[in-house]
Structure 1
Amino acid sequence: MSRGWPTSVDRAKREVLPLPLALYHAAREYTGGVKAVAAVYGLNPTTLQHKLSPTHQPHTPNIADLEAVLGATQDDRILDAIGEIAGGAIWLRPDACQAETSFDLIEVIGTLHDQLGEMLNSVSETTRDGIVDDRERAELRKRARQLMQAVLALELSAAGIGEVEHG
C-alpha cells in the first residue's frame, strides 16, 4: 500500500507549514475567507487573494499582509511557521494559561500528559523501522514544539494560582 503525497491540509495537521502556505490556509479557513480578512483591514480582496495563493507566483505576501491575516485569524499555524523560521522558537498565548483554581491546573497537567503520550507514541512508531524520513522528522518537530508549549502553559498556570493583585 503506497502512501501518496500529503495535501497541504494533511501536512498542516502533522507538521509546521512554510509561512506562505500557513497564511493561505489561515485566510482561506477564516469565516468569510480572504475577502473577510481584506475587509477587516481595508485591503483589496483580489490582490490579497493573489498574494496568498500558492499557485500565483508573481505576487507574494508582504509584512502588511502577514499582519492582516494573523491579526484577523489569530491562526496558530502562522505563529508556528514564524517560530520555525526563527530556528524553532516556540510561542504561547498567556491569556490561554489563566488557571484560576487548582482544578484548572489539573486540566493543564492532563493536557501535558496527553501530549507527552502522543509524542512518545509518535517516536515509537517513527523509529520502529529504523528509518526517519523528512515527513516523520517534521511531525516529530511539531509534536515536540506542542509539548514545550504545554510545559510553558503549565508553568504560567501554576504561577497564577492564588496570585493576589497589588495596586
Structure 2
Amino acid sequence: MIRDDIKAATITAMKAKEKERTATLRQISAKIKDRDIAERTSGKEIPDDELVTSVLQKMAKQRRESITMYVDGGREELADKERSELAIIEGFLPQMMSEEETKAAIEAAKVTVGAASIKDMGKVMAELKSKYGAVVDMGTASAILKKSF
C-alpha cells in the first residue's frame, strides 16, 4: 500500500536527518489524513490506494502550477523548492499511461459505452475514470477524446 510506503519513507528520512524530505512527507501524510476525515463524513467507501493516489495527484498538480508561477515571477529559489517537493511526491505515484496507451483505453471505453458523438464524452470519461483512474491523466485523456470525435 502506498500509505505504508509513505510512513516507512518518513521514518527513514527522519533517521537520516533529511529535513526537507521529512517535511514534504509529513505534508503528504497530513493531506491524506484530511482526506480520510472528509471521506468519513461523506459516507462513500473509496479504496485506500485510490484515495492516496488522488491526494498525491492533486498535490503534484499544485506543485507544477506553483513552479510555473514562480519561474514567471523570477523566484527561481522558490521554484527549486517546489521541484524538490514534486520529485518526492511523484516518487509515490504509480506510472502514468503513455499517450498511445491512453488512446487505446479511450477507444475501448468508446466501444464499451457506445459513444457516437461529443455528447457522449461524459460517459466515456466516467468509464475511463472507473477503470484507469489512478494511471491515466484525465486532462490529456479529455483532449485526446475531443479530437477523436
- Normalised by the length of structure 2, the TM-score is 0.29
- Larger of the two Rg values belongs to structure: 1
- Normalised by the length of structure 1, the TM-score is 0.27
Structure with greater helix percent: 2
Higher relative contact order (CA 8 A, sep 6+): 1
